[in-house]
A and B are shown apart, each in its own frame.
Chain A
Amino acid sequence: MNEFEKFKETYFAECTELLDEAGGRLAQLDQGERDPANLHAVFRAVHSIKGGAGAFGFDHLVAFSHRFETLLDLMREGRLDASETTIATCIRGIDVLSDLVDAAHYGRDANSTSHQEVGSVIERLCRGCSAPVDPDVRIGFDSANATVSATRRWAVHFKPHRALFERANEPLLLLRELCSLGQARVMASIDPVPPLHDFDVLHPLIAWNITLDTAAYSDEIKAIFEFVDGDCDLLIEEVNLDGALRSAANEDGVSSASTNPSHSSVAPLGTDVGEVPVARTARTGAALPKEASTTSIRVDLEKVDRVVDMVGEIVITQAVLAQQIDERMRDSNPEIMRCVELLAQQTRVLQDSIMSMRAQPVRFVFARMARLIRELATQLGKKARLEMSGEATEIDKTVIEQLSDPLVHMIRNSLDHGIETPERRRALGKPEEAVIRLSAAQVGGRIVIRVADDGAGIDRERVRRKAIARGLLAADSNLHETDIDQLIFAPGFTTSDVVTDTSGRGVGMDVVRQNIEKLGGRVGVANEPGQGVVMTMILPLTLAVLDVMLVRSGGTPYVVPLASVIESMQAQGAATSDLPSGSRVLRVRQNYVRLFDLAAMFGASRVPNGDAPDGFIVLCETDGGRRAAIVVDEILGQQQVVIKSIEANFARVEGIAGGTILGDGSVALILDVAGLELMAERRSLTRMAA
Chain B
Amino acid sequence: MTSLRILTVDDSRTMLDMLRAALATRGFTVVQAENGREALNILAREPVDVIICDVNMPVMDGYTFIRAMRQDRQLAGLPVLVLTTETSREKRDEGRAAGATGWIVKPFDPEKLVSTIRKVCLQAA
B22 touches A168 (CB 8 A): no
B94 sits at the interface (CB 8 A): no
The smallest beta-carbon distance between B4 and chain A, in angstroms, is: 14
Say whether, besides A167-B96, A167-B100, A3 and B119 are in contact (CB < 8 Å): no
Indicate which residue in B22, B76, B119 contacts A173 across the interface (CB closer than 8 Å). Answer: B119
**How long is the Cα–Cα vector from A55 to B101 in the complex, in angstroms?**
23
Most chain-B CB neighbours within 10 Å: which of A3, A8, A174, A298? Answer: A3
**How long is the Cα–Cα vector from A168 to B117 in the complex, in angstroms?**
12
Which chain B residue lies CB-closest to A50?
Answer: B109
B65 sits at the interface (CB 8 A): no
B119 touches A177 (CB 8 A): yes
Residue-by-residue, is A1-27 near B (CB-CB < 8 Å gives 1, otherwise 0)? 011100110110000000000000000
Which chain B residue lies CB-closest to A11?
Answer: B107
From 55 to 92 in chain A, residues with beta carbon under 8 angstroms from any chain B beta carbon are: 55-56
Q: Which chain B positions have C-beta within 8 A of A174? A: 119
**How long is the Cα–Cα vector from A230 to B121 in the complex, in angstroms?**
20
Residue-by-residue, is B94-113 near A (CB-CB < 8 Å gives 1, otherwise 0)? 00100111110011111110
**How long is the Cα–Cα vector from A168 to B48 in the complex, in angstroms?**
14
Most chain-B CB neighbours within 10 Å: which of A54, A56, A167, A169? Answer: A167
A390 sits at the interface (CB 8 A): no
B102 touches A169 (CB 8 A): yes
Indicate which residue in A52, A168, A224 contacts B79 across the interface (CB closer than 8 Å). Answer: A168
Residue-by-residue, is B59-73 near A (CB-CB < 8 Å gives 1, otherwise 0)? 000000000001000
Which chain B residue lies CB-closest to A299?
Answer: B87
From 69 to 87 in chain B, residues with beta carbon under 8 angstroms from any chain A beta carbon are: 70, 76-80, 85-87
Which chain B residue lies CB-closest to A51?
Answer: B109
Residue-by-residue, is A283-298 near B (CB-CB < 8 Å gives 1, otherwise 0)? 0000000000000011
B42 sits at the interface (CB 8 A): no
**How long is the Cα–Cα vector from A167 to B103 in the complex, in angstroms?**
12
B3 sits at the interface (CB 8 A): no
Which chain A residue lies CB-closest to B124?
Answer: A173
Q: Which chain A positions have C-beta within 8 A of B101? A: 167-169, 227
Q: Which chain B positions have C-beta within 8 A of A166? A: 70, 76, 99
**How long is the Cα–Cα vector from A3 to B18 in the complex, in angstroms?**
10
Q: Which chain B positions have C-beta within 8 A of A168? A: 76-80, 99, 101, 120
B120 touches A169 (CB 8 A): yes
The smallest beta-carbon distance between A337 and chain B, in angstroms, is: 41
B1 sits at the interface (CB 8 A): no
**How long is the Cα–Cα vector from A169 to B77 in the complex, in angstroms?**
8
Q: Which chain B positions have C-beta within 8 A of A297? A: 87, 89
B40 sits at the interface (CB 8 A): no
Residue-by-residue, is A194-235 near B (CB-CB < 8 Å gives 1, otherwise 0)? 000000000000000000000000000000101100100000
The smallest beta-carbon distance between B71 and chain A, in angstroms, is: 11
B102 touches A227 (CB 8 A): yes
Which chain A residue lies CB-closest to B50?
Answer: A168
Most chain-A CB neighbours within 10 Å: which of B85, B102, B106, B107? Answer: B107
Most chain-B CB neighbours within 10 Å: which of A4, A11, A56? Answer: A4
Which chain A residue lies CB-closest to B119?
Answer: A173
A117 sits at the interface (CB 8 A): no
A52 touches B109 (CB 8 A): yes
A170 sits at the interface (CB 8 A): yes
Say whether, besides A173-B118, A226-B102, A298-B87, A54 and B125 are in contact (CB < 8 Å): no
The smallest beta-carbon distance between A167 and chain B, in angstroms, is: 5
The smallest beta-carbon distance between A620 and chain B, in angstroms, is: 46
Q: Which chain B positions have C-beta within 8 A of A498? A: none
Residue-by-residue, is A155-174 near B (CB-CB < 8 Å gives 1, otherwise 0)? 00000000000111110111
Q: Which chain B positions have C-beta within 8 A of A246? A: none
Can you list 8 contacts pairing A with B, beta carbon distance less than 8 Å? A51-B109, A51-B111, A54-B109, A56-B107, A167-B96, A167-B100, A168-B99, A170-B79
Q: A55-B22, A166-B99 are in contact. List 10 more A-B contacts (CB 8 A).
A: A3-B14, A4-B18, A7-B107, A166-B70, A167-B99, A168-B79, A169-B101, A173-B118, A174-B119, A177-B119
